[in-house]
Structure 1
Amino acid sequence: MVAALFDDGADAVAAEPDLANRSKSFSVWQYGAARGVERLCRAFATLDVKTSWFLTAEVADRHAGLTRSIASAGHEIASAGLSFDPYDAHSSAQSLENLRRSRDVLSALAARETSGFRLPLGNWPPGFDKVLLQAGYGWSASLNGDDVPYTHPSGLVEIPLHVELEDRPYFQFNFTPAFPKGLGRIPDYEGVLHNWIAEFDAYRRFGLCYVIQLRPEWSGTPGRISLVEDLLRHILSFDDVWIATGAEIAERQRRFGLPIEDDHPIQVFEAYRREPPIDG
């Protein structure tokens, strides 16, 4: 699965609110809407790859033309909420209203129903899978505790993610202010491609679900788009690989997926939360 994360700088402002008032620095993140989205879409069209795009309703509405063009190219539009919100700070009722409104906006812009969700910020709240189902979603790509899709006890499908398959840890960079704090140097492009291909080859070897996560401001630059193209060409060179959208993966999981076991990470986490606190 190719996941395109179009946050339009909301992720950066959530971490460093002062960035919103620094036009020079913030323009680094605005590059995605200005150039990166279209460049990624051209690469996907050239290689005939369908992807899943995650946007908040706020970003989608602000860039309605781009959102419609993404959807009209056959890509899936999935939700990252109404705005860049920490759902662990909301009540269930507030989250439900937020999620429903987001889904309505995105479905209208995409001209088809939005079924997927990605947690934009914060921790996964207790019972959040049930809230997502109630809001009309069928799958999530938010948690990390596996290498294959699994189904929450509620019936919500989860498509796990991993940080080594993101572009942001490699390429997010700003000098003043230093963002992220303690930033290193931008790595060698060939090294990044090597890492992503090595991960793919291992996922293919073990029959797992590989999810590459790309942001238009980082991977949509003139030089880095070649990394995306080279990675996808490598993936497409195999005839036993299925490049699918999140909705397609979720449907397959609902049809063929096995129930999670008692020692699955999501079950262990739930059991841990139910344990009484230890004094002292």
Structure 2
Amino acid sequence: MPTDDLSRAAESHRWPEHIWRGHVEAVRTGRRLVPESWPGGARVAVALSFDSDHETIPLRDGETSPGRLAQGEYGARAGAPRIVDLLARYGVPATFFMPAVSALLHPEEARGYVRGGHELAVHGWIHERNTLLGRDEEKELTSRALDTLTTLTGQRPVGIRTPSWDFSDSTLDIMLELGFAYDSSLMGDDEPYEIVAGGRNTGLVEIPVDWIRDDAPYFTMDRYGSVRPHSRPRDVREIWVDEFDAAYRDGGVFQLTLHPHVIGHRSRLVALRELLDHIAAHRDVWFATHAQLAEASRGLLHGRTSARSVADPQEHAP
């Protein structure tokens, strides 16, 4: 833990209420955005996403060895094509969050996502840790990433996922200034919600993520560290099946985050294929990109649709 974080933690028990309350309320979950029914009368929405990080993970950390870069290249060379083929087989659209440097290294891949009916969304410039940047630098990199993806594909992305799955003090304002329609970086609910900042509604839709619904915690490997793969792919599939089944019962959203260089290996792709078999066996499933999901959810903010009659967690807040 950085020294600044340690000193802050050591002093936190002395904070007056306005300090700890201010930190908590800076970025908060607002209204839950689950319509009475999803498009086409579907009971559940399924939003698959893939973070096409490729070589940007080692590059971000200044690691330039061929071995580390090859691990990332695997995602572009082997993983991504397999994933695109699998999605086409099931007729499923997905959202690909792609760092701009990754898109510049693999421009035809980025264009191919869009040609294939998928969504391409912003995932930073070089998978930088946005929480360590000053406001001006964070905004410049986010804006440059947005412009790069727009130039490469001819379509301006409407969504963003921060590389750190976190916000700095400036991130939310930058998103609003750049006109993003939704974010997918926070973990405040199972369902989409409106982000509230300092007690005010922002109009920005959050499509929440979670480490449970992410392949990296189960399968990543660090040769020189303590991180080791610890799960069988089919065991992870069971977790995701349970998550989907609960979302189906609730009439909510099943959102999943995967990485081509992680899930794209042969034995792991089996788990994704079997998960899609399970989902496809259910009626009334709407497969959507994150942009489509955000647009359907936003209807509640503008009164175009009514909410599903499920308990909102805020109704039970003290």
Q: TM-score normalized by structure 2?
A: 0.74
Picking from 232, 244, 247, the partner of 2:288 is 244
- In terms of fraction of residues, the more strand-rich structure is 2
State the partner residue of 1:201: 245
Does the 8 A contact of 2:219 with 2:228 survive in 1? Answer: no
Gap change, CA 1:262 and 1:93, over 3 Å in 2: farther
Structure 2: stretches of 5+ with no match in the other structure: 1-46, 196-200, 302-306
Gap change, CA 1:119 and 1:36, over 3 Å in 2: same
* Letter aligned with residue 220 of structure 1: G
* Letter aligned with residue 182 of structure 1: S
1:50-75 deviation per Cα after TM superposition (whole angstroms, max 9, x unaligned)? 00000111111111011111111111
Q: 2-side partners of 1:158 and 1:137: how far apart?
A: 11
- Which SS does the other structure have where 2:282 is aligned? coil
Say what the alpha-carbon RMSD is for the aligned residues. 2.3
Does the 8 A contact of 1:51 with 1:245 survive in 2? Answer: yes
State the partner residue of 1:142: 185
Gap change, CA 1:185 and 1:149, over 3 Å in 2: closer
Q: Which has the higher contact order (CA 8 A, sep 6+)?
A: 2
Q: In the TM superposition, what is the alpha-carbon distance from 1:250 to its structure 2 partner?
A: 1.0
Q: Does 1:190 align with 2:234?
A: yes
State the partner residue of 1:119: 162
1:35-87 deviation per Cα after TM superposition (whole angstroms, max 9, x unaligned)? 11111000001111000000111111111011111111111000012222222
Q: Does 1:6 align with 2:49?
A: no
Q: Does 1:156 align with 2:201?
A: no
State the partner residue of 1:216: 260
State the partner residue of 1:273: none
Picking from 92, 109, 118, the partner of 1:66 is 109
Sequence identity (%): 27
Does the 8 A contact of 1:141 with 1:160 survive in 2? Answer: yes
Does the 8 A contact of 2:149 with 2:157 survive in 1? Answer: yes
Structure 1: stretches of 5+ with no match in the other structure: 269-280
Does the 8 A contact of 1:165 with 1:211 survive in 2? Answer: yes
State the partner residue of 1:36: 79
- Which SS does the other structure have where 2:202 is aligned? coil
Q: Does 1:167 align with 2:215?
A: yes
Gap change, CA 1:46 and 1:22, over 3 Å in 2: same
Q: In the TM superposition, what is the alpha-carbon distance from 1:99 to its structure 2 partner?
A: 1.9
* Letter aligned with residue 212 of structure 2: E
* Letter aligned with residue 217 of structure 1: H
- Which SS does the other structure have where 2:121 is aligned? strand
* Letter aligned with residue 5 of structure 1: D
Q: In the TM superposition, what is the alpha-carbon distance from 1:262 to its structure 2 partner?
A: 10
Radius of gyration: which is bigger? 2
Q: In the TM superposition, what is the alpha-carbon distance from 1:191 to its structure 2 partner?
A: 1.0
* Letter aligned with residue 178 of structure 2: A
Does the 8 A contact of 1:130 with 1:156 survive in 2? Answer: no
- Which SS does the other structure have where 2:285 is aligned? coil
Does the 8 A contact of 1:100 with 1:136 survive in 2? Answer: no
Q: Does 1:49 align with 2:92?
A: yes
Q: In the TM superposition, what is the alpha-carbon distance from 1:123 to its structure 2 partner?
A: 3.6
- Which SS does the other structure have where 1:35 is aligned? helix
Q: In the TM superposition, what is the alpha-carbon distance from 1:9 to its structure 2 partner?
A: 3.6
Q: TM-score normalized by structure 1?
A: 0.84
Q: Which moved more, 1:220-229 or 1:148-157?
A: 220-229
* Letter aligned with residue 53 of structure 1: F
Gap change, CA 1:63 and 1:240, over 3 Å in 2: same
Does the 8 A contact of 1:3 with 1:214 survive in 2? Answer: yes
